[in-house]
Each structure stands twice: as structure tokens, then as C-alpha cells.
Amino acid sequence: MKKKSILINPLTKFHHTDFELQHQKRPGVETDMLPKPDCGEESYEGCARLQGRKALVTGGDSGIGRAAAIAYAREGADVAISFLPSERQDAEEVKDLIEAAGQKAVLIEGDVSDELFCAEMVKRAHQELNGLDILTLNAGQQQFVRKIEDLDTAQLRKTFEVNLFSMFWTVKAALPFLEAGSSIITTSSVVAFQPSELLLDYSATKSAIIAFTKALATQLAPKGIRVNAVAPGPIWTALQISGGQPDEKIPPFGQETLLKRAGQPVELSGVYVLLASDESSYTTAQVYSVTGGMFTA
């Protein structure tokens, strides 16, 4: 009799046919998505790789940030997440999941395009977690516009403020608290390497995040603080169905990759944990790609 394989085929591990066309108002909530993104709620198993650590994850209510927050908690970290008011339901779910892992959860509602909020968010995270040593800068907005003539200055400014300026403001506020051994992780994108004609402003921020990450890593290396970026490919999250992509791109979303499907947020959990943990103690100023095989170099 043939032995049953323990291997899992990456081509068919998750949803790999067309998605149903769906729309939500930005920023969208995960609870109403079909299928609901897999952020590791049922599957991520920790093994104490972040025991005693204190993490802040911006945009930790849904998608990639939620996957990181769940994984951090199951690895033994206390976790604060930031989110927007309309995302309260997703955020409460994450709080329950963090607490179910036996860790402290802190919910911080507000807009990271506001410098004062970024400072307040860091202060609260540090105070309520009783420390801060993992900064996962993940909040982002993505709004497609087909022609540069139609990209107004208000959107251009907001995309840069949310995706890029917030990183400067949050790091500035956090630095006094970060000791040697702390880790900063930014979220860039495959579009930093293969810019999208539909996402001029967004693509520009994601390239800038890589330059910021490398320059900051250089500046903070003498303090023993590591800084790395993650570059995801097409991942099934609320960002995409709330204005991130035009209708025609939603059903086949992700099928252009070598693995012929969209990634799920849980497929990034391992990289966010690795970069936060002491296992990556010799890794700084790097970009980790999780793209289903889309080239990033």
C-alpha cells in the first residue's frame, strides 16, 4: 500500500481558483470578506520564540498585521495593535485571540497619518505593555488610479503620510524606549521592484520604505537595533477589495505568480516572527520577499 504523503502542495494549499467579485468601503473589514483571509487563527502554533517580548503592530486588526499579531502572541509576546475606528470588530477579534494565547492585548484606535497620534500610540503601547522591543510598521493604504492626471494631491499626500511618514514619526517616538536587541520590521511590497501602473503613489511609497529601512538599519546598528523589511506579493486581504484593485483584477487575484494563487496572511507569519526574534540576530538592513515567486531582484 502506498504511504500517505505528509507533504502539502503549495499550489493548492489555499484558495487557488477565481475569487468572487466583492467590494467594501476603505479600509474594509476582514469579517465581511469571502473567503475570509486566513491569518493563522486556527493554524499558527507558537513555540516560545518571543517569550516576554513586547510588540506594537500598526494595522494589526486585519490581514498581514493580524497574522503577525496572532503569531507574536502565540510565541509569547504581549501585543498592542493600532487600527481605524471602522475596524473595531476586527480589532476586538484580534484582542480575544491574543488573550486566548495567554498574553496581554492593547487596542489603540487612531489614524497614523497624524504625527501626534503616532507619538501617542507609541507612548500608550510602551506604558500598557510595560515595555516595547518589537515595532512592526505595517499600516498601509492602497487606492488604484488608472491615470496620473486623475491622481489628486489629497490622495498623493495621504498615501505618503500613511505608508511612509507614519514610519518616521513612529520610530522617532519609539527610539527612547528601544533597547539593544529590539527589532523594527517595515512592510514594503513586491511593487517596490515591479511597480504597478495602477498604483503610482503606492508603489513610490513602497520603494521609499526600502530605502528608509536600509538607511535606518545603518543608523541604528551601533545601538544593537535591527531593521528589516518584508516585501509581500499579492495577499488576500481587505486592502485589495476596498479600492486597492479594479474589478477585473479581483477574481484572478494572485494567479499571475509562479504559484498561481494569492497568498494568505498566515503565509507571512513565519517571516515576521523570524525577523522579530533573536534567531535573526545577524540579519539587518534586509528585505524578505514572500511573493509566490514574483521576482524582487
Applying CB under 6 A, the residues found at the interface with ligand NAD are 27-28, 59, 61-65, 82-84, 87, 111-113, 138-142, 162, 187, 189, 232, 234-235, 237-240
Nearer to ligand NAD, 84 or 287 (CB): 84
Binds 187, which of Mg ion, ligand NAD, none (CB < 5 to 8 A, cut-off by type)?
A: ligand NAD
Binds 243, which of Mg ion, ligand NAD, none (CB < 5 to 8 A, cut-off by type)?
A: none
- With CB under 5 A as the contact rule, the residue among 75, 87, 133, 267 that binds Mg ion is 87
Q: How far is the CB of 62 from Mg ion (least distance, A)?
A: 3
Strand partners, 289: 231
Nearer to ligand NAD, 18 or 278 (CB): 18
Strand order in the sheet with 78-83: 105-109, 78-83, 54-58, 134-137, 183-187, 226-232, 287-290
Cα(68)–Cα(62) distance, integer angstroms: 10
Instruction: Enter the DSSP assignment of 235.
Output: B
Nearer to ligand NAD, 138 or 182 (CB): 138
Active-site position among 202, 272, 282, 288: 202
Instruction: Enter the DSSP assignment of 30.
Output: G
Interaction between residue 182 and Mg ion (CB under 5 A): no
Q: How far is the CB of 7 from ligand NAD (least distance, A)?
A: 26
Interaction between residue 62 and Mg ion (CB under 5 A): yes
Binds 141, which of Mg ion, ligand NAD, none (CB < 5 to 8 A, cut-off by type)?
A: ligand NAD
Cα(17)–Cα(251) distance, integer angstroms: 8
Q: DSSP H helical segments within 30-165, as ranges? A: 63-74, 88-100, 115-129, 153-160
Select from 82-90, 98-106, 134-142, 148-156 the region that touches Mg ion (CB under 5 A): 82-90
Is 282 assigned a catalytic role?
Answer: no
Buried b (16+ CB within 10 A) or exposed e, 262-276: bbbbbbbbebbbbbb
Interaction between residue 61 and Mg ion (CB under 5 A): yes
Identity of the amino acid at 97: L
Cα(251)–Cα(18) distance, integer angstroms: 5
Interaction between residue 78 and Mg ion (CB under 5 A): no
Nearer to ligand NAD, 152 or 179 (CB): 152
Q: How far is the CB of 293 from Mg ion (least distance, A)?
A: 26
N-terminal to C-terminal alpha carbon distance within the chain:
45
Buried b (16+ CB within 10 A) or exposed e, 103-142: bbbbbbbbbbbbbebbeebbebbbeebebbbbbbbbbbbb
Nearer to ligand NAD, 141 or 269 (CB): 141
Q: How far is the CB of 262 from ligand NAD (least distance, A)?
A: 8
Cα(5)–Cα(15) distance, integer angstroms: 21
Which amino acids are annotated catalytic?
202
What residues make contact with Mg ion under the rule CB under 5 A?
A: 61-62, 87
